[in-house]
Amino acid sequence: MYYIGIICGLLLLAWTSIHGRNKKKLPPGPIPLPLIRNLHNIFGAPPHKSMERLANKYGPILSLKLGRLPTIVISSSAVAKEAVRKHDSAFSSKTPKDAVEAHNHHKFSIVWLPVDSGRRKSLRTILNSCIVTANKLDANQDLRSTKISQLIAYCHRCSQTGDAVDFGIAASDIAINVLSNTIFSADLVDLCEKSEKKFKDVIRSITFQIGKFNMVDYFPVLKWIDPQGINGSTCAGFAKMFRIFGDFIDERLEQRKKNQKTKDVLDILLNMSEEKDGNIDMDRNQIEHLCLDLFIAGTDSSSATLEWAMLELMKNPHAMKKAKVELAQVVGKKEAIKEADLVRLPYLHCILKETLRIHPPVPLLSRKAEQEFELCGYFVPKGSQVIINIWSIGRDPTIWEDPLVFKPERFWGSNVMDIRGQDDFKLVPFGVGRRMCPAISLAMRTVPIMLGLLLNSFDWIVEGDDYLDVEEKSGLIVGKLRPLRLVPISL
């Protein structure tokens, strides 16, 4: 019996050795529990902070098992650079969240369609030709200037009454109206009317639901139960947006019957619909889904960046003073800022880059491995979720001196880095590779103008006894939890 035990032990050791050598090596990570696996490891704090804590223990590339979803987390610029440079095509798609499957949005969305999808390629071509090319941006410059001047006029009225400006709401309103005028030639919100909250509240509800932790994403068997009601809430939000877009489409179709044509994005899309382009069926349904993508992507991200920038400047008055001096010298105190002036305002750009480093609007970039590949000596399985923690990269003490200190000067002169992160992947607030946000050019024209005008036209004080906290709210876009409310003082 004793010898039988030894023989069985040796056979077991041999079997383990053989199969151990054949098993591909996953990145290190915490031991998963039964059923929930590693979900408990990311509870208790925002996911980007939980994943940074795990990276500090297990390294810049780690593996998690989130329910049924194998996940690889990248937390360093060096690993992100290798992943995108060598394997971008292997993990350039995204795993659709259950929330965006409402109304089959994931089948029509440029955000969620596979990169090699013919529909996505056509949508990206349309987006680039209709909105974000240099020529189109230049053509719409006066439109953006008009909308931003409405923000300054609103702040002047607040300075006369002593009322505070809610930066998140005000910036969101302007971002919505810039987009709505580009697409529909109409305003969707009024800064002065508090009752006009319906549209922006629907957008914020949608982005919150999409970014919310959803059990269905990790346990698909729960899909038909929708235990947290997230899919149902998103479905209702999408339906409200589609009704609004549908009203604009109906009105425009009536105008076109009378030969009353405009030259906005909606007219271009309707022209494509009538021409029946063979590459994509640009029907009413596709137009509505494309508009939904544009408003979700282009509203809260811009307003969150402006709000974080103003917060950091209020906490760092020396940086605000330097920005005001630059503005006074380049464009003149209290003078309007034109987009052509932006190239002569390097410190203003440094402020925005530093803001995006510390407070990226979307802290986690999520992708799906369409095929297995090797990264830094580790195996990345096919079908796994690959997350790049750009929030952690922006605060990495090995690449940033005093990473928690707001220091715009780090980007001055020879240290100025491309906002697209193509050179070193240290600053990638708009994504990387094939999934980079296509609206980056629009954002980097609109937000600097708004910030510059707010600094060049007013001094600012905190409302009442309020304090300047940096607590984040959860959601697809990570903004301030408590609204930043400042009272403007006209110069």
In the annotated binding site, the residues are 437
Instruction: Look at residues 310, 348, 315 and name the one whose alpha carbon lies nearest to residue 329.
Output: 348
Q: Which of 434, 444, 441, 446 is nearest to 128 (CA)?
A: 441
376: left (phi > 0), else alpha (psi -120 to 50), else beta?
left
Q: How many CB atoms lie within 10 A of CB 359?
A: 24
Rounded CA-CA distance 261/255 in Å is 7
Is residue 440 within 8 Å of 137, Cβ to Cβ?
Answer: no
Measure Cα distances from 361 to 149, 440, 479 in Å. Answer: 24, 12, 7
For the chain, the maximum distance between any two Cα atoms, rounded to a whole number of angstroms, is: 97
Phi, psi dihedrals of residue 395, rounded to the nearest 5°: -120, 15
Give 246's contacts (C-beta < 8 A, 6+ positions apart): 284, 288
Neighbours of 220 (CB within 10 A): 13
Residue among 449, 454, 352, 440 nearest 141 (CA): 449
Are 233 and 205 in contact by the 8 Å Cβ rule? The answer is yes
103/107 Cα distance (integer angstroms):
9
Contact 82, 423 (CB under 8 A): no
- How far apart are the C-alpha atoms of 238 and 430, rounded to whole Å? 24
The amino acid at residue 399 is I
Task: Report the distance separating Cα 174 and Cα 171, nearest Å.
Answer: 5
Q: Check: CB of residue 368 under 8 Å from CB of residue 95.
A: yes
**Binding site, annotated residues for heme:** 437
Strands 385-389 and 364-368: antiparallel
